[in-house]
Structure 1
Amino acid sequence: MTSDTALDGLFGDPSIIKQSGEYVMYYGAIKGDFSDPDTVRIFRATSPDGVVWTRNSVPVLTPGEAGRWDAVKVEVPDVLELPSGEYLMYYAGNDDTTEVGWQIGLATSADGVHWTKHPANPVLAPGHSGAFDELSALEPTVVYDSDQEKYYMWYTGITAHLQAEIGMAESQNGVVWKKLGRVLRLDIERLNPGDRGITEPDAVRHHGRFELFYATILPEGVGGAIWHAVSEDGRNWQKDIDPVLERGDSASWTGQGISAPSVLVDGGRYRMWYTGTHTDFATFFETGVGLAETSLTTQVAATHPDNPLAFELLPNYPNPFNPETTIRYQLPEAGRVTLTIYNLLGQKVRTLVNQNRSSGSYTVVWDGRNDAGKELSSGVYLYKLKVGKAFVATRKMLYLK
């Protein structure tokens, strides 16, 4: 999905939900004729498959009146549907054309089309002097935990040194928020000395844990790569050692930047929509939204940050299993990890992991399918863990259909 000057100009930062079986995208864009490049509004598009989209030319959220906190820009929406059927949109607003002073607002809707800004806006403001979000609080992502009846927000904070870091807040009603401080900052993701931090978090809750997808910021101000981390409590995170999605070559539409992930757990897979940037930083600047997918069974994550004392491949559970089972392993040090499924003839049927991993305790879910996505027959299967030249172990499991 690329810019259409009949409807919108530069655009991106998608937020995707499913509504009555249809995919709905909310995104920020400037006017299509580029007559007002500083004013950003939020639009809505729909799709039957998440690939082919139909835009609506009427914005669903516009900047406030002159003098309001969001008088110039409303963008980076994050939309969720509550169990009650009400829709909430958290968004970033600014009353200036500079890149500081961002605050987070809330709008509500009964149908996902017609939105009303909350009278308590902004619901989250920049922090005090010296805080990680001293200059701005923006790019919110919110998860509602129906069991705890609590809202959790992760957002980008801008420090006094213009570094981007990710913080967390919680709320009982989605309006009044308590900040919990910074939870993630740039470290293993640094690819260039001048990288400006991590930004644009998108959170999902799956299998009882939080997963966060986020982007790095290159020195030029565009996204460098998309990364992934997991957490049991939303505050203590275990990062993947490698990015999950990187830029294309210099001639591609993501050649200069990739950022703003929006992820759905959808039909046995993760689907990620993201913003791509193609520019020479002087004469042209183009953006678009792309889609990437991966099987749920290949999404591997550390379950807690403690460092194990030894390599270990643990028993899968449940065993016997149908339709899926969880495999756990522990790494006392970083290494190249392969986790592979074999049948009793010694034939490889599925590769679950094949990448560098940092030390930690990991889990991966296998759904009884091979690498082609075909469901396998009942029987005994072997799962083998290999960590470089340091460790090899194999265990048995029984798949019953």
Structure 2
Amino acid sequence: MAKIVLKACPELFHRCLLLLSFILCVSNTASAEDLVFPKVLTHFVPYQNNPIFEAEGPGHWDVKIRERGWILKEGNFYHMWFTGYDGTRAGLKMLGYAYSCDGIHWTRSPCNPIYKDHWVEDMMVVKQGNIYHMFAEGKHDIAQHLTSTDAINWKRVGPLDVRLANGSPIPAGPYGTPTVWYEDGYWYLFYERRDAGIWLARSPDLKVWTNLNEDRPVLIPGPNAYDQKMIATNQILKYQGVYYMIYHGTAAAQKPSLWTTNIAASKDLIHWVKYSGNPLTPSSANQSSGLLIPDGKRFRLYTMHNQVDLHLPQKR
């Protein structure tokens, strides 16, 4: 029955989520007082020479780039994976790669696109041991898993097997923008469904992911306008004992939608409190798919949809 209502009455589903958001805000008032949003994670100014990376344009494989790309810093070396395509909605979304020694000036791989056997977009990468694990959307926004030993040559494992708390498969339909966190032997998967909420599942072995929080979303849109209609997780990080989620949201009050980059905090990965100073980027800038990347001294904020922009820490 829930599956039928979701498909037939998406607006009713959205209103129910907003009501749940209000209830969660009230119940989490006490915990919100214990959470801190340090300036090093929240106050940034645009780099004066943006964009630092963009599509090569007509005549190239990446006429446009889209959705979340991913930056991973290893030592003094920066990896970047991004999605390129021909600019059409139906065009195959292919994986590109670039590298940098400063996180600002990038060199594209001569092997681009490095993966084009299957649709790959909205990706993120976790390195565990000697293996790079990529979690990305496939066609029809179905979350999938790929692996690599060198960051360039990728093998597709397949779609993620996500289950309800009782062990049965989640209802059919898109489950995208997969964002994974690894800690203490468990993999945690944050995923969205039609951008109407963010769910959390866990796996000990990357094979079966089981929903936590009694199958309820851990974060939903609203109540403020900047993320009132749609949200999706971009990144999870841990700083000074607190988990932080970088996510994007929109009020969807106009077409095309204007997106914002935002932050929320948690002590247990389940109960999240949104930063009262959200959004980190103004809606007029339409900057989404944000990532906080430490450069060795401080955090930088990158936004990655349509083009890659850099935001540097705000000076005191």
Do residues 143 (structure 1) and 135 (structure 2) align? no
**Which letter maps to 2:160?**
V
> Structure 1 residues 111 and 235 mapped into 2: Cα distance closer, same or farther (>3 Å)?
farther
Question: Equivalent residue of 1:202, what SS?
Answer: strand
Q: Which residue of 1 aligns with 2:240?
A: 267
Q: Which residue of 1 aligns with 2:103?
A: 112
After superposition, give the CA deviation of every residue in 1:92-119 in whole Å (9 maximum; x if it has no partner).
Answer: 1112232541111111111211111112
Give the count of matched residue pairs. 226
Question: Equivalent residue of 1:87, what SS?
Answer: strand
Residue from 135, 139, 145 that aligns with 1:154: 135
Q: Which residue of 2 aligns with 1:69?
A: 61
Question: Equivalent residue of 2:95, what SS?
Answer: strand
Does structure 1 retain, via aligned residues, the 8 Å contact 2:69–2:83?
Answer: yes
> Structure 1 residues 96 and 270 mapped into 2: Cα distance closer, same or farther (>3 Å)?
same
For residue 166 of structure 1, report the CA deviation from its aligned partner.
0.8
Residue from 150, 159, 167 that aligns with 1:173: 150
Does structure 2 retain, via aligned residues, the 8 Å contact 1:200–1:214?
Answer: yes
Q: Which residue of 1 aligns with 2:226?
A: 253
Once residues 163 and 89 of structure 2 are traced to their aligned partners in structure 1, the CA distance between those partners, rounded to angstroms, is: 23
> Structure 1 residues 298 and 277 mapped into 2: Cα distance closer, same or farther (>3 Å)?
closer
After superposition, give the CA deviation of every residue in 1:199-250 in whole Å (9 maximum; x if it has no partner).
Answer: 1111222123222212111xxxxx111111222222321222111100114x
Does structure 1 retain, via aligned residues, the 8 Å contact 2:244–2:266?
Answer: yes
Q: Which residue of 2 aligns with 1:97?
A: 88
For residue 257 of structure 1, report the CA deviation from its aligned partner.
0.7
Q: Which residue of 2 aligns with 1:207?
A: 184
Does structure 1 retain, via aligned residues, the 8 Å contact 2:147–2:157?
Answer: yes
Once residues 229 and 297 of structure 1 are traced to their aligned partners in structure 2, the CA distance between those partners, rounded to angstroms, is: 11
Gaps of 5+ in 1: 1-46, 128-135, 189-193, 218-222, 300-401
Higher relative contact order (CA 8 A, sep 6+): 2
Q: Which residue of 1 aligns with 2:204?
A: 232
Does structure 2 retain, via aligned residues, the 8 Å contact 1:185–1:197?
Answer: no
Gaps of 5+ in 2: 1-37, 166-170, 272-316
Q: Please list every run of at least 4 consecutive aligned residues from structure 1 whose deviation after the TM superposition is greater than 3 angstroms.
A: 184-188, 296-299
Does structure 2 retain, via aligned residues, the 8 Å contact 1:137–1:155?
Answer: yes
Q: Normalised by the size of structure 2, how large is the TM-score?
A: 0.65
Instruction: Identify the structure with the greater helix proportion.
Output: 2
Question: Equivalent residue of 1:107, what SS?
Answer: strand
**Which letter maps to 2:257?**
F
Q: Which residue of 2 aligns with 1:50?
A: 41
Question: Structure 1 vs Structure 2: percent identity of aligned residues?
Answer: 24
Residue from 69, 73, 78 that aligns with 1:87: 78
